[in-house]
Amino acid sequence: MNNSNDNVNFIVGDSTSIGSTSDTARLISNDEASTSNYTQFNKTSNYEHSDSDDLHGSHGIRRRHPVQKIEPGSMNMLSAKYESLDYDTCENHLLLDEERKRGYPFIVKKDMARWFIILLIGAITALIAFIIDICIEEFSNIKYKELKKSVDKYVLMDRLYIPYLLWVLSNICVVFIGSILVAYVEPVASGSGIPQVKCYLNGVKVPRVVRIKTLVVKAIGVISAVVGGLAGGKEGPMIHCGSVVAAGISQGKSTTFNKDFNIFQYFRDDHEKREFVSAGAAAGVSAAFGAPIGGVLFSLEEGASFWNQALTWRTFFGTVIATFTLNFALSAYHGHPGELSFPGLLNLGKMEPFPFQFYELPIFMLFGAIGGILGALWNYINYRLAVFRIRYISTPWLRVVEACMVAAASATCGFLMMFLLNDCRPLGEDPTKVPLQLYCADGEYSVMAAIWFQTPEASVRSFLHDPLGSYKPMSILVFVVCYFLLSTWTFGLAVSSGIFIPNLLTGAAWGRLLALGMQAIVPSMTINSAKYALIGAAAQLGGVVRMTISLTVIIIETTGQISNALPIIITLVVAKWVGDFFSEGIYDIHIQLAAIPLLPWEPPPLAHNVYASEVMSHPVFTLRTVENVGHIVELLRLVSYNGFPVVDPPLTDDAEVTTYKRLRGLILRSQLIVLLQNKLYNENANTSWPNLNVDMKIFRKEYPRFPSIAELEISEWEKTCTIDLRPYMNPSPYTLPHRASLPRLFRLFRALGLRHLPIVNDVNEVVGMVTRKDIARYRVWRHCGHMGMEELVLSNEI
């Protein structure tokens, strides 16, 4: 067996960087040279490739060419820094060994442990939601009560600038705390967390997204954002919190606290962890909206590639537990234990079923269209702001300053509206918690002050349930414009807050405005303002987030009225259609800005003429079945790849056969690291299959963060040893031939959640590797009725 330390089985190729468009013809001829003993193969292969070149040259399909210049904020890039999750099981000898030892009783035990963990995830997520909710409610109460005292005191003295300054100051102080945490301690906790969770569920390893530290920052951040008066909601962050809880509990250890409870070790791999995280996200949705079914659908819509009945059923159990626990806790807190009247954080109040007539269907569609247009506009403004932030607001302290600025601006907006719009209503008719007289007559209170002196969630309730004539049209119009701009400015700040509530609020407001308009046009009509406010809210939210069935169910469950489903569905369908005509959903925009290689649902259309040989990265770095330690160390130090094909060793040292690389298996960087770390190698090169006492535990111990190669100390003597990789490698990885098309690659990747896919030639020799990034580079674009395919740039710089 060849035991020398040289690089003989590296393919010495050109230094083409990964992901740059490769020249098919050149590559194929290279491969053919290496297999020149197969004349027959060459003959037919040439035949086909000449044809594919022909197709490729004249396909007549509009295809954008890759952008060469990388600009910050460009949507045409993918970052090379994101790794994928290993969803595929490595069926190596150790796994077989473990299965044999444990047998079916272990399967049953594992299954019961899964149900138990889901129960814990549901309950703990709900308790966190409970704590966040109570904190927000209590702190907001204190804040607005103090402000009211101040206003009541100074309004008579005509020194309203004092409560104004007080308001601005309190906003800034509270937001400052959350913003500092987010900007300096854990930037991944910013925003709603839904894009990050979506990426994780899609299979992208977003760094630090499911750590306990992130959870703590997120929880404090969302309290500070809402109490600080920003136009943000607490629902999106709940989804993120649920995911972190799931990841933490299912792994039975915490990296943040460096504590290992030594439980649930058998769930320590990416596959199991991802399933729990998807259940956690569902529990988060469920707690946020009181929507157990919507939660399941959310995690399916965002996370599932493969619908699995057992997983869905368990997830459903988790969401029910979450809703139930939260309901119980909130009911008990509000003094009605056992009544169970607080199913979720988002409480829109009791909606009545609203009957509707046929002539209203076009009205619902119109609302949907308006929502789609306004949503696309919201997304566009937010996108421009995000690009601006990437370019100019790049340091943490600038981000903190911006957050504080927005907090001040929110207070200013509110104050100006209260001050300038004199919209009064008699007291007692519709009690608000902090009624402010301001300039109103005695026995009246300022409507605008009531809207601003409460949490956005309470304002949504007001717009839904207050009688039709409660607000002057002008007040609503100004409010819509202000809040629309404020909310789009807020999303993307260095604070933790979501966009559900602000968009529902904006939508409810313009829905009510349109209802007033209709009333003015057809005075004989009896207008149900709650109906139109709700439809407007749904339209606006649907136009921004573009979620499909899960959003529909969430809204239905939140309002607690299934009989209102049809109007809501029609509105959401139209909103999505119209919105998609102009732009993508806000989450997708942010994912693209972050250059995350998310895989969409379907392969790009008309891409059957893009072949694996174009998509794959090459040259490929391989290891032999029995490999020299020095060589492995060198390879790991040299390249940053995470998976290496294991190939048959060459027969001799003869130079001609050094490229002999018939695929035998696939080994991951993390596995190699563990092997080196545990010194599982043999001095004597002829003893293979060295250590049968090794089991899966050594791989699980380090999961999920394995040391880097630089952290390992390998002596010169050790470098002369060998490792037999066969017991550890995945002996039968999925592969595809180099002539496979992009849609075929895509489907295999998407359906099985792959991370690496070796591309082989006709005699099963590795000629390249495809990773998620190589596939995600090919993206379909649609814009105003046109469509095409574009190739994104893969960059290490972002």
Using CB under 8 A as the binding rule, whether residue 538 contacts a second copy is answered as no
Secondary structure class of 156 (helix, strand, coil):
helix
- Closer to a second copy at the Cβ: 185 or 748? 748
How far is it, in rounded angstroms, from Cα 165 to Cα 151? 11
Q: Segment near a second copy (CB under 8 A), from 37-45, 160-168, 468-476, 613-621?
A: 37-45
Using CB under 8 A as the binding rule, whether residue 17 contacts a second copy is answered as no
- Closer to a second copy at the Cβ: 284 or 649? 649
Give residues 406-465 in contact with a second copy (rule: CB under 8 A): none
Phi then psi dihedrals of residue 736, to 5 deg: -140, 150
Using CB under 8 A as the binding rule, whether residue 522 contacts a second copy is answered as no
Using CB under 8 A as the binding rule, whether residue 625 contacts a second copy is answered as yes
Q: How far apart are CB 367 and a second copy at their closest, in Å?
A: 16
Using CB under 8 A as the binding rule, whether residue 552 contacts a second copy is answered as yes
> What are the start-end ranges of the H helices in 724-791?
742-752, 772-776
Using CB under 8 A as the binding rule, whether residue 48 contacts a second copy is answered as yes
Q: Which residue's entry shows tokens 């390998």?
A: 714
b/e per residue 241-279 (b: at least 16 CB within 10 A): bbbbbbbbbbbbbbbeeeeeeeebbbbbbbebbbbbbbb
> CB neighbours of 163 closer than 8 A, spacing ≥ 6?
147, 150, 151, 153, 154
How far is it, in rounded angstroms, from Cα 782 to Cα 584? 9
Helix (H) or strand (E) holding 665: strand 663-668
- Binding-site member from 560, 691, 696, 702 for a second copy (CB under 8 A): 560
Q: How far apart are CB 707 and a second copy at their closest, in Å?
A: 29
Secondary structure class of 662 (helix, strand, coil):
strand
Using CB under 8 A as the binding rule, whether residue 114 contacts a second copy is answered as no
Give residues 249-268 in contact with a second copy (rule: CB under 8 A): none
Q: Are the C-beta atoms of residues 31 and 646 closer than 8 Å to each other?
A: no
How many Å from the N-terminal Cα to the C-terminal Cα in the chain? 44
Q: How far apart are CB 787 and a second copy at their closest, in Å?
A: 5
Using CB under 8 A as the binding rule, whether residue 36 contacts a second copy is answered as no
According to DSSP, the β-strands at 793-795 and 77-79 are: parallel
- Binding-site member from 17, 20, 36, 51 for a second copy (CB under 8 A): 51
- Closer to a second copy at the Cβ: 25 or 340? 340
Using CB under 8 A as the binding rule, whether residue 339 contacts a second copy is answered as yes
- Binding-site member from 317, 453, 491, 681 for a second copy (CB under 8 A): 317
Give residues 719-738 in contact with a second copy (rule: CB under 8 A): 726, 731-732, 734-737
Binding mask 72-111 for a second copy (x = CB under 8 A): -----------------x-x-x-xx--xxx-xx--xx---
Q: Segment near a second copy (CB under 8 A), from 53-61, 221-229, 237-245, 530-538?
A: 53-61
- Closer to a second copy at the Cβ: 52 or 470? 52
Q: How far apart are CB 740 and a second copy at their closest, in Å?
A: 4
Secondary structure class of 780 (helix, strand, coil):
strand
How far is it, in rounded angstroms, from Cα 481 to Cα 194? 26
Q: How far apart are CB 395 and a second copy at their closest, in Å?
A: 38
Using CB under 8 A as the binding rule, whether residue 358 contacts a second copy is answered as yes
Binding mask 285-314 for a second copy (x = CB under 8 A): -------xx--x---xx--xxxxxxx-xx-
Number of residues that bind a second copy (CB under 8 A): 107
Q: How far apart are CB 331 and a second copy at their closest, in Å?
A: 11
**418 token code pair:** 């209260």
Using CB under 8 A as the binding rule, whether residue 563 contacts a second copy is answered as yes
Q: How far apart are CB 320 and a second copy at their closest, in Å?
A: 5
- Binding-site member from 2, 7, 16, 41 for a second copy (CB under 8 A): 41
**478 token code pair:** 């100004």
**Half-sphere CA count of 214, side-chain side, radius 13 A:** 28
Q: Are the C-beta atoms of residues 75 and 593 closer than 8 Å to each other?
A: yes
Give residues 669-688 in contact with a second copy (rule: CB under 8 A): 688
**330 token code pair:** 């909130």
Number of residues in the chain: 798
Q: How far apart are CB 562 and a second copy at their closest, in Å?
A: 5
Q: Which residue's entry shows tokens 């930037």?
A: 187
- Binding-site member from 357, 524, 686, 693 for a second copy (CB under 8 A): 357
Using CB under 8 A as the binding rule, whether residue 762 contacts a second copy is answered as yes
Q: Are the C-beta atoms of residues 293 and 132 closer than 8 Å to each other?
A: no
Q: How far apart are CB 751 and a second copy at their closest, in Å?
A: 4
Q: Are the C-beta atoms of residues 336 and 519 closer than 8 Å to each other?
A: no
- Closer to a second copy at the Cβ: 7 or 609? 609
**Half-sphere CA count of 264, side-chain side, radius 13 A:** 26
> CB neighbours of 129 closer than 8 A, spacing ≥ 6?
238, 241, 284, 287, 288, 322, 326, 345
Give residues 633-652 in contact with a second copy (rule: CB under 8 A): 648-649, 651
Q: Which region, left, alpha or beta, applies to residue 262 given φ > 0 means left and ψ of -120 to 50 means alpha? A: left
Q: Are the C-beta atoms of residues 739 and 612 closer than 8 Å to each other?
A: yes
- Return the ∠ at Cα 682 (arms to 677 and 686), rounded to 5°: 150
Q: How far apart are CB 531 and a second copy at their closest, in Å?
A: 14
Using CB under 8 A as the binding rule, whether residue 270 contacts a second copy is answered as no
- Binding-site member from 279, 363, 569, 668 for a second copy (CB under 8 A): 569
Q: How far apart are CB 315 and a second copy at their closest, in Å?
A: 9
- Closer to a second copy at the Cβ: 47 or 717? 47
What is the dihedral angle through the alpha carbons of 576, 577, 579, 583, rounded to the nearest 10 degrees?
110
